[in-house]
Structure 1
Amino acid sequence: MLDFLKFLKWLLKTLFWLIGGLIKAIFGLDQEAEEIKFNGKVITDKSFQILNNAFAKDSTTAYYKDYAFSYADVPTFEALDEHYAKDKNRAYYCDEYREGQNYYLTKKQRVVTIHNADLQTFISLGNGYAKDKSTAFFDGIAFNVKQVSSLVSINSYFTKDHVSAYLNRLPVAGSQGKTFELLEENFAKDALNIYYYGYTGEGHPDEERHSICIIPCERASFKILDYRYSKDDHHVFFLGFTLKGADSKSFEILTEGYAKDKYKVFFQQKKVEGADPETLEVYVENGQYGHDFNFAHDRSSVFMDDKKLKIADVATFKVLGENYGSDSKHVFYKTEIVKNADPATFTVYPHDFGNADSEDATHKFHEGTKVED
């Protein structure tokens, strides 16, 4: 009888344990509450509401990451995207920045209150842009457009409405916004023109006035060759400008800024005088070392960018890096001979060492000039 009671007691405990475990598993009673985090911090306030990765609010305060909006109307506060928010009284643009002295250590938050925005119609367009029924904004600052009702953002640089396209909030001259679209690389088009945008060519007379230009091309035969070059059946274009004297049919891009046709060699937009296109080769070593300039050669001469090294020996010339080269008799820095340098023992440091970037058996040099130890 005693053994039976012990068995019954054990059986009841086992059944209780099994049933209790089943109930906990079904209702999650044995699981710890999942931690809620915002901006890397654990949230314990049950009234705390995360709106997106950047904005949140509790019963008394709205937040942009670490920044507390003590003046926000919390019940009506809403996030529009990762940067824009609004309540019944104001619209806000928020972002982060770093200060120079502590650049890698801390981020700080910046909040721009957008005054005079029409809150009923205020919306985010993405990429830092927003609008209401009458005004366009970028990073919370108003800018002028021709038709705000049709304004959309393309990326952080480009917007368009049905009238015009805009680059950095400035109208693209001659553009038709309704049909404007970006192409591959640095090119765009609309129903009227094809455009090149970005850096428009060192030394070009229109450089300061143009961050985008209309390519004077034949549209039907236009082709993009890479991020700088394009052509049609009659002309070649570099950064959107006509590459004078280039033969479109035989034009080909080489490496390190060089190109050629059957008549000429080019370095970027410049003709390489005296270079033979049939035998021109670009030194593969250009890409193996630190350098600001590039070397190439044909059957009789060595070139740095568009300039000829007047006495370099093609048969023995080699690229050393950091804008140095050498042949059996001389060391060159860019196009100039390095005086008193021995090509047999000359080496270039991978990084500047003290006040020098190179040395031979007896001297040290910096940018082609001998320096004292």
Structure 2
Amino acid sequence: MSKPPKATNHPEYVIEGDAVIRLSRRMPLWDKHDRPLPIACPSAFRCIAGRWFTDGVHVIVQAQHGSDIAYEFYYRIEDADLATFEVLNQRYARDANQAYYIRGKTIRTRSPQAFRPLVYESWRWSDEGPLVQVQRAHEFYAVDSEAVYLNGKRIAGADGASAVGFESGYLADAQRVYYFGRATDLDRASFTCGLNADGRLVFTDRFGPIEDGKRETALDRCIADEWRPFFTARPELTDYWWHALQQPSQPTAAVEFHGIRLAGLDSASFAAHELDYGYAARGIVCGDAHGMHWLHEYTQGPSRLERISDRPIAALHVLGRRYFTDGVTVFYTPNHYETPRPLRRTDPADFRVLQHGWARDRSRAFYLGVVKKGVDPARLRLEGCYAWDGEHLLCDGKPLKIDAPQATFQVPHPAFLLAGDKLFCGRRPVSAKRVHLPTLEFLGDDFARDRAHAYVVTYESLVEIDGADPATFRVIEPGIAQDEARRYDANALRKALRND
């Protein structure tokens, strides 16, 4: 008769013979490869705290991959000092020699005795009703005497001795403000937070309100009313952006652009450049002698500036549609409502904008701001939506496999490729049984004909025009054609096809 399982100090785990069993899975502890985890002394297994355990020899940690759909597993810390091992929270622990992060990371801290989760001021509802300030320990940030850590990784440049925690991913040391481990350009001396009238936590510095680690320096005057309760409750705060908005009749050096007050910019060196995207869409880069910003304009809600470069606005140079440079970095702008994206390791002096979204530097080809690996920029040929370099063929930046020599390629229309005896519309082959390729000719952007038919060009292919006479079919103006019997409007033909 087998012995009954032996209980541990954790209700989820029992000892059966030489195995530690997790009851919810009814199986021994497993590693990240789903193999049984070696347990040195099963009878000594116990929970230290939370997800940290020991078998009397090693520290055993229950970790996981993922968050929404999590896969749990266990691993051993081989060299932990059990006599001094201390769990700090669900993610951090330490002993006399080093610290640990729950994802299997050993932190070689120089001051393990000072290692701890970062403490910050927060608010909670008291039993009596009003909000009261309390101290909390952060789940993801930790500090020691020298450094600050996020998820077990040291934050470059952050000073642990002077670190102060805040809610919502913010921390600060004596010099800088950080947001989820990333250094920001926020003003450390005036950075502060508090509750607004609706109980919402808000952040600001002297130059503007802060959202998601970025200063909102484009300030519509209506925002002053939203922040009135915050500054009314903090009379010790003076000379902030909010105070300047209370005196609109007084002279100010702040910039007014498109009816928006751009706080914190130097009016003497201010300039703005509009980038044309077509269809009446535009993007705006503006700034002063101290940096460049992307202006987000919204039909609803306040506009805002997002800093994109520390270079002066006078250094901005438009390289071509969607590409510009600050003299050091090349930026690609996908559209008017997304922030320009810096292209890493590009030299503006070598960068050339081509056509149809393509660009190149000395060693790489780019399509819509993305490096196309393996494409030779020196041999790159562009026609319509197609590009090839002797080895690769791409359509709209995506590889297209065609069994035909590139020497035979012809692009009779920006959307069509003739490769040997095959015709493609974009990436789609056009049937040679339906279209007579030897006599096919394109008549402008909207029409084509062969010996048997006249066609209207659509996004997907060539569509035969019923009753049209190819022998007398001709274009008389852009988008309009006629034969001996009728007149044809390309847009009307396409609309009729969509409605079928």
TM (normalized to structure 2)?
0.37
Q: Per residue, is there more strand in 1 or in 2?
A: 2
Q: Per residue, is there more helix in 1 or in 2?
A: 1
TM (normalized to structure 1)?
0.48
